[in-house]
Amino acid sequence: MLINDIASVKKHLGGVQKTMNWATWEPFVAGAEHSYIIPAIGWELYDQLTTVTAPSPKQKQLIEMLQRALAFFAYVDGFPQLVLSIGDIGISVATPSQTQAMGKWMYVAATKDAAAKADRYLEGALQYLEKFESEFPTWQTSEAYTQNRGRMIASATEATVYFPALQGSRRLYLNIRGYYHQAEEEFIQPVIGEALYEALMGKLKTPGSSLTTEERKVLSLCRKMVVQFGFAQAVPYLNLNVDFRLVSETDGILNEDALGTTRLNAIMVQSMNVANDKAAELKRYMNEVASATILPEYFSSGLYTDPNERKNRRPKNDPRNPHFALY
């Protein structure tokens, strides 16, 4: 594991004044690795980082950043049990002498703060990994790299660039990611065509590939579409909790009010309007610049329209049409 002793847990959590036993924390550390760290960096890089005996400076820095995130993920996962006294005679609230049970507001504040730190630290580690990816060839050839980089929006940081309201939240990004993928299939491909889409995705998945100026512009507009379309699709479901009751709204436990229907509808309409505006801008741009050598995949598709022909187009003089238009 990335963390193998209680001293490392204390080091990264900070502010620990009481005794902590590794046997108590080990299950939470192991669980957090499997739930959060490994899905983010992949098994290949995880195995390398946990077995390396003489890490390079870059590897050492990455390990430190991942350990910091892992400590807080373990803290979040372990929090419900850590405030309880569990044994064969039952479960009770742990209240050692000269202490009192934690209040609900403190429990909520502590878990939210720890979760925010965990997300922020992991996103920081992934930013570092992306910045110095050439130093981590194992990462570049891993399945996780292909899956992450083979999408238009590959991280919370990238999503925030095109949709600042996300505020770099990895937790929110993971909740929306499936809708981003859906947006690529339902909104992007019909606009740019399957051939150009596959060409762009192929370059994103291949380390060292370079994009042309026109491809970078297309990709930028596509990403703006994806984050808006994806968010609009996700909004109705972001305040739902899926558990043994199937689906329920979460509201009272955190003493927070769920967004009303009017506000939700306004957010969805705004996101859809922005996405449609970007789609129109993207279409105009591709029609203006596409040729046999520039964006050839789009130019040779049935989606391309010569902008000059569109300007000179006149309506047919059909006597069955009672309407007319001035051009």
In a domain, 13, yes or no: yes
pLDDT at residue 247 in the model: 47
Q: 251 falls in which pLDDT band (50, 70, 90)?
A: very low
Query: Does residue 297 lie in a domain region?
Result: yes
Question: Tokens in use for 92?
Answer: 């009770």
Same domain, 76 and 177: no
DSSP letters spanning 51-89: H-SS--HHHHHHHHHHHHHHHHHHHHHHHHHHTEEEETT
Handedness of CA 241, 245, 249, 252 (dihedral sign): negative
- Do 167 and 139 fall into the same domain? no
Residue 316 lies in a domain: no
Beta bridge partners of 90: 87
| 122 within some domain | yes
pLDDT tens per residue, range 123-160? 999 999 989 989 999 998 888 887 778 889 999 999 99
Give yes or no for residue 214 having a pLDDT over 90: yes
Domain residues for 110?
1-149
Both 159 and 133 in one domain: the answer is: no
Domain identity same for 266 and 141: no
Rg (CA), the chain: 25
Cα 81 to chain centroid distance, Å, stands at: 28
The rounded distance, in Å, linking the Cα atoms of 118 and 75 is: 9
The answer to whether residue 309 scores a pLDDT higher than 70 is yes
Q: What is the rounded distance in angstroms from the CA atom of residue 169 to the CA atom of residue 155?
A: 10
Contact indicator for 191, 199 with CB cutoff of 8 Å: no
* 139 and 195, same domain (yes or no): no
| Residue 184 and residue 127 share a domain | no
CA angle 37, 39, 40 (to 5 degrees): 65
- Per-residue pLDDT band for 317 (boundaries 50, 70, 90) equals low
Which residues are CB-contacts of 85 (< 8 A; sequence separation ≥ 6)? Answer: 91, 92, 93, 94
For residue 296, tell me if it sits in a domain. yes
State phi, psi for 19 to the nearest 5 degrees.
Answer: -70, 135
Residue 231 host element (H or E) = helix 213-234
Taking CA 309 as the corner, what is the angle to CA 308 and CA 313, rounded to the nearest 5 degrees? 125
Verify that 235 and 104 share a domain, yes or no. Answer: no
Q: What is the rounded distance in angstroms from the CA atom of residue 157 to the CA atom of residue 185?
A: 22
Per the structure, the count of domains in the chain is: 2
Average pLDDT, the chain: 86
Shared domain for 6 and 129, answered yes or no, is yes
Examine the domain organization and report whether 127 and 17 are in the same domain.
yes
- Over the stretch 105-128, which tens digit does the pLDDT of each residue have? 888 888 889 999 999 999 999 999
Express the helix, strand and coil content of the chain in percent, nearest 5 each.
65, 5, 30
To the question of pTM greater than 0.85 for the whole model, the response is no
Asked if residue 173 and residue 133 are part of one domain, the reply reads: no
What is the phi/psi pair of residue 85, to 5°?
A: -110, 115
Choose the final residue of a domain: 101, 131, 149. Answer: 149
Question: Is residue 112 assigned to a domain?
Answer: yes
| Domain-located, residue 325 | no
Whether 27 and 142 share a structural domain:
yes
Which pLDDT score, from 0 to 100, does residue 229 have?
95
195 and 227 inside one domain: yes
State residue 315's pLDDT score: 54
Residue 322 within any structural domain of the chain: no
